[in-house]
A = this chain, B = another copy of it.
Amino acid sequence: MSPSRKTYHHGDLRQSVLAAALDVIAAEGPGALSLRDLARRAGVSHAAPAHHFKDRTGLLTAIATEGYDLLAAALAGTPELRERGVRYVRFATEHPAHFQVMFQPDLLRADDPELLAAKERASAELRAGVAGLPDVPDARTAGIAAWSLAHGFATLVLTGNIEAALGDREPEDYFRSLTGLLFTGQLPQKDRS
């Protein structure tokens, strides 16, 4: 950002690197991420980012952690299950880089305490979505069904697999009508044999 730094310290390197990383991931995927490139963009030496994130995995773990907190915040305070699904999809489209990294465990340090804590916060919000449902015999399975539907839809949107069906509609709107189709019985309740 600052054209020619005069200070020895960058001042806000951590945030600067994080933001640049999100740009790169959203544009070209996590594979294109290079710590040295991020350092160049921030105008610091090649080893500077390592001080904040330890290594490449550390950076991606930090992004995933941030992602889970953003997701928890996005879901919080929504009473209805269906609308929670819509918000899940919206989160994925608004934060594609976070979403991708969160669900690619081989990029992350799976046992990182902060990551686990953030993941648990988001998980609690997901569970809260089905808790208030009336007359659900198996709440856990129902929750997983709902999660699968929203997650699958979001993933297919981000991977460009349903562009044709979307047309120019917003993914979250399409998802809302899709769930309407499911929950109002317009789908065959049972397709036999």
Contacts and interface: CB of A to CB of B under 8 A. Distances in A.
A192 B152 contact: no
A134 B165 contact: no
Nearest to A106: B29
Interface in A173-187: 174, 177-178, 181-187
Given A142-B187, A191-B81, A191-B82, A182 B182 contact: yes
A150 interface: yes
Interface stretch (A3-11, A42-50, A154-162): A154-162
Nearest to A123: B161
B106 A31 contact: yes
Given A106-B31, A190-B183, A191-B134, A156 B148 contact: yes
A137 interface: yes
25 contacts: A29-B105, A29-B107, A32-B106, A80-B193, A104-B159, A133-B188, A133-B191, A135-B188, A140-B165, A141-B165, A141-B178, A141-B181, A142-B181, A142-B187, A144-B156, A147-B152, A147-B156, A147-B162, A148-B152, A148-B178, A149-B152, A183-B188, A183-B191, A184-B189, A184-B190
